[in-house]
Structure 1
């Protein structure tokens, strides 16, 4: 009789792709072509979020792959859980005015493949990194120029005290202080680490 663990179909760890891997039956089409199709515009909400998570991973020296269903977006070597939130003035669609900078989804229901969603939304990370892409014109917008990004770091207890599902940029600034440059992000994350 199989054990409970043996009843589950477990995925293999992902194999890193170079982009050169070819699709069968598609002459000359490879994974890089798919990436260009799916992520051609780093201004879209999903792509900007993935990019911000990537930047945080790079800042803390993490080589882990993104896991879609995790309760947090990054983790330091010593187990500090990090949630990454992003916002920008400009969107990939037409807009009558610049977007208001708001960071949403601060609380969420944890998900487990065996038990489903938790009953209550909670703050699921130890540290929250707010990533603000600051360009105000499409001509200037360059998501790869890290001087166009402002970063703010807050520990979970600050968010718990506010008990909000979303925060405006002005609230984040009031709580976190001046923006941090990308070169100072790792130090700010380490300094915000909960003690004890």
Structure 2
């Protein structure tokens, strides 16, 4: 059922999280089969991005579902906005050599169904987390092994000062103070937010 606001806009209801056991109306397949079809390879660029966002959500203790059109990827209960960027040395396609780590889309144009797209691209989070899957061979690559991930955390003020749309890992490392593991991620995000 659509919920209409007083000004004529149709607001979608909150959707409860799927369990994976839901079945399609006909056929012998369900949601878990769709997930296996669309997201069974966690190396794929878009899925790796979702995975990195999920890890940041978990580090922050958030159980919120992903919002496709939000201006940032995670938000703490006290309103701290976090953007997550991810990359990896290995891809799902053949490569002559490992990928060069570069993070794109640091600025974006905010979008609202009521006002449309903003005219100008801006930095839309308070804190930026740069997540790197560090495996250098497909034999060792395990996206579920949190020891294979390194995280770098930067305040928005640093990105504004650098004024870049994309950033190499070397630049991120220079300004982040070093890589941290998953276990230290929440504390690092909080520490950076306190300094910004």
Q: Tell me what 1:60 maps to.
A: 60
Secondary structure of residue in 2 paired with 1:193: helix
Root-mean-square deviation (Å): 1.3
Q: Tell me what 1:21 maps to.
A: 22
Offset at residue 178 of structure 1 (A)? 1.4
Secondary structure of residue in 1 paired with 2:52: helix
Cα distance in 2 for residues equivalent to 1:171 and 1:159: 11
Q: Tell me what 1:48 maps to.
A: 48
Q: Tell me what 2:70 maps to.
A: 70
Q: Tell me what 2:134 maps to.
A: 134
Equivalent pairs, count? 193
1:83-117, CA deviations, whole angstroms, 9 ceiling, x for partnerless residues? 00000000011111110000110000000001110
Cα distance in 2 for residues equivalent to 1:193 and 1:175: 14
Secondary structure of residue in 2 paired with 1:87: strand
Q: Which runs of 5+ in 1 are unaligned?
A: none
Residues 126, 194 of structure 1: 8 Å contact kept:
no
Cα distance in 1 for residues equivalent to 2:171 and 2:38: 33
Q: Tell me what 1:11 maps to.
A: 12
Q: Tell me what 1:189 maps to.
A: 189
Cα distance in 2 for residues equivalent to 1:193 and 1:177: 14
Task: Could you list the structure 1 runs, at least 4 aligned residues long, displaced by more than 2 angstroms after superposition.
Answer: 3-6
Q: Tell me what 1:173 maps to.
A: 173
Offset at residue 180 of structure 1 (A)? 0.4
Residue 158 of structure 1 pairs with residue 161 of structure 2: no
Cα distance in 2 for residues equivalent to 1:61 and 1:157: 25
Q: Tell me what 2:96 maps to.
A: 96
Offset at residue 6 of structure 1 (A)? 3.6
**Taking structure 2 as the reference length, what is the TM-score of the superposition?**
0.96
1:13-42, CA deviations, whole angstroms, 9 ceiling, x for partnerless residues? 111111000001112x11111000010100
Q: Which runs of 5+ in 2 are unaligned?
A: none
Q: Tell me: CA distance 1:121–1:133, structure 2 relative to 1, closer, same or farther (3 Å).
A: same
Secondary structure of residue in 2 paired with 1:160: helix
